[in-house]
A and B are shown apart, each in its own frame.
Chain A
Amino acid sequence: MSDGEKGGSAHGMRVIRTPRYVDVEITAACNQRCSYCYFFDNPEVPYHDLPLGEWLSFFEELGRCGVMRVTLQGGEPFMRGDLREVISGVVENRMRFAVLSNGTLIDDSMAAFIARTNRCDQVQVSVDGPCARIHDATRGRGSFDAAIAGLKRLQSHSIPVGVRVTISRHNVGHLEETARFLLEDLGLARFGTNSAGYIGTCRRHADELLLDPALHAEAMQALVRIAGRYPGRVLANAGPLADALTWRKMLDAAGCGAGTFDDGGRLTGCGCHFTTCAVRADGVIIPCVLLAHMEMGRINKDSLEAVWNNSPVLAELRSRSSIELKDFEYCRACLYSPYCTGSCPAMAYTQSRRVNAPSPDGCLRRFLDSGGRPEDIP
């Protein structure tokens, strides 16, 4: 009657009746203007907020849909003066929550409130270096001290704290000290990494931020070394560490002529559209916060369950996995295509204006064609 592991089956090709997780951009306001921010400077998105009542009605619908977790993000969620009421709305509708934050506005009474709900999976704070000089270079003066103070307040109330390090040219040479600071000085259980990508505000600062192949190689080597020193404590879904782990497997498989990987040779790089969707600050339902232009409906006007099951946008994204990489000119002659998943559709879109295409960011061949070497990949 029960089967504890089978819950994962919905991550495959089957569409479940309602999403399990919903990412909510609860505000378009932010007290910082980070140079690599994905959120701002998207010409296809209007930036304005909804009143509390709209969100509370929507959370009732999410409760009826059996959604398990809401991730509150922005902008900066703690900019909302009514965030306690927002969180209470989530809790009262039998859901858990997480918050993605820059950490700078979390005072002790807010941390105490979050702890009391007993429903918080984590508050994730962005920390991009071991000191103010490095962190503030991308996130603005004073932001390091304020973020670390907020993070310590969360820790003092035993709230699970996640940290995300976004790697750019400003901090790529300081990953060892950053890891030591987070894992040893702050005592975090683990931290996640990714890298600045060509999206949002980052597009205006690409030369100053994005890693070239040599720096990408440096980041991969440092992160694999650090991950070996702190087993299970350095994580990545994207960025240099994820690339290193994926690309090494692809190189080895190609080297010995291994057969096609189960998820290889097709655009299988994102399975989130089978479990998760998102809502913009203005109430528009979208597939993912990084695909903010793909409008699917509006909260409290369109039924979430109907959008989830009938949206042509989601149908298109869910059918990506039937598209062969060999259909793309650049991939056709690629030695690695039987092992490649095409990576993130959102990063494909920001660089090629096509969602149903492989992302240049996760492309091993492009890395090698632009000066990277196989021996650079640890």
Chain B
Amino acid sequence: MKLDDAPVPNPVVVLREESDDWAILFNPDTSAAVGTNPVGVEIWKQADGTRSLRDIAATVARRFSNVPEGASGEVLSFADELARDGFFGVAEGAEG
């Protein structure tokens, strides 16, 4: 994925917020599961097909004191991982 891409969550994916610091994204079609922390949960919740990864990274940096402003690389690699496992698609023609 690229920073200007606006990821679209696969609607079949289930977000299980298991505790304050732990969640699982589960794709029942493939059995794939990704464990994640509250930052990953925020990225997942922000992704609605209209927000670009650049915008999402900025929001995450604002909301989490432990995420530095230049963390877009980490957001990108998390989004890549989710796209690879079928959790994310990309909105056609999204401007970001």
Which A positions have Cβ atoms within 8 angstroms of B? 1-7, 9-10, 14, 16-18, 20, 63, 66, 68, 94-96, 118-119, 121
- How distant is the Cα of A9 from the Cα of B21 in the complex, in angstroms? 11
- How distant is the Cα of A20 from the Cα of B16 in the complex, in angstroms? 9
Query: Interface size of B by Cβ–Cβ distance < 8 Å?
Result: 26
* Interface bits B59-79 vs A (CB < 8 Å: 1, else 0): 000000000000000110010
Interface residues in B72-96 by Cβ distance below 8 A to A read: 74-75, 78, 81
The residues of B that contact A9 with a CB separation of less than 8 Å are: 22
Contacts between chains A and B (CB distance < 8 A), count: 62
Q: With contacts A68-B16, A96-B31, A118-B29 known, is A7 near B24, CB below 8 A?
A: yes
Interface residues in B36-67 by Cβ distance below 8 A to A read: 36-37, 39-40, 43
In the complex, the chain A residue whose C-beta lies closest to that of B33 is A7
The answer to whether B31 touches A3, judged by C-beta atoms less than 8 angstroms apart, is no
The answer to whether B74 touches A1, judged by C-beta atoms less than 8 angstroms apart, is yes
The answer to whether A66 touches B35, judged by C-beta atoms less than 8 angstroms apart, is no
The residues of B that contact A66 with a CB separation of less than 8 Å are: 14-17, 26
The residues of B that contact A14 with a CB separation of less than 8 Å are: 19
Which B positions have Cβ atoms within 8 angstroms of A? 12-19, 22, 24, 26, 28-29, 31, 33-37, 39-40, 43, 74-75, 78, 81
The residues of A that contact B75 with a CB separation of less than 8 Å are: 1
Contact of A2 among B19, B31, B34 (CB under 8 A): B34
The answer to whether A2 touches B22, judged by C-beta atoms less than 8 angstroms apart, is no
In the complex, the chain A residue whose C-beta lies closest to that of B24 is A7
The answer to whether A2 touches B36, judged by C-beta atoms less than 8 angstroms apart, is yes
In the complex, the chain A residue whose C-beta lies closest to that of B13 is A94
14 A-B residue contacts at CB 8 Å?
A1-B40, A1-B78, A2-B34, A2-B36, A9-B22, A17-B16, A17-B18, A66-B15, A66-B16, A66-B17, A94-B13, A94-B14, A96-B31, A121-B31
The residues of A that contact B40 with a CB separation of less than 8 Å are: 1-2
Contact of A1 among B22, B33, B39 (CB under 8 A): B39
Q: How far is the CB of A325 from chain B (nearest CB, A)?
A: 30
The answer to whether B22 touches A6, judged by C-beta atoms less than 8 angstroms apart, is yes
The residues of A that contact B28 with a CB separation of less than 8 Å are: 68, 94-96, 119
The residues of B that contact A1 with a CB separation of less than 8 Å are: 36-37, 39-40, 43, 74-75, 78
- How distant is the Cα of A57 from the Cα of B39 in the complex, in angstroms? 33
Q: How far is the CB of B79 from chain A (nearest CB, A)?
A: 9
The answer to whether B14 touches A7, judged by C-beta atoms less than 8 angstroms apart, is no
The residues of B that contact A5 with a CB separation of less than 8 Å are: 35
In the complex, the chain B residue whose C-beta lies closest to that of A121 is B31
In the complex, the chain A residue whose C-beta lies closest to that of B31 is A96
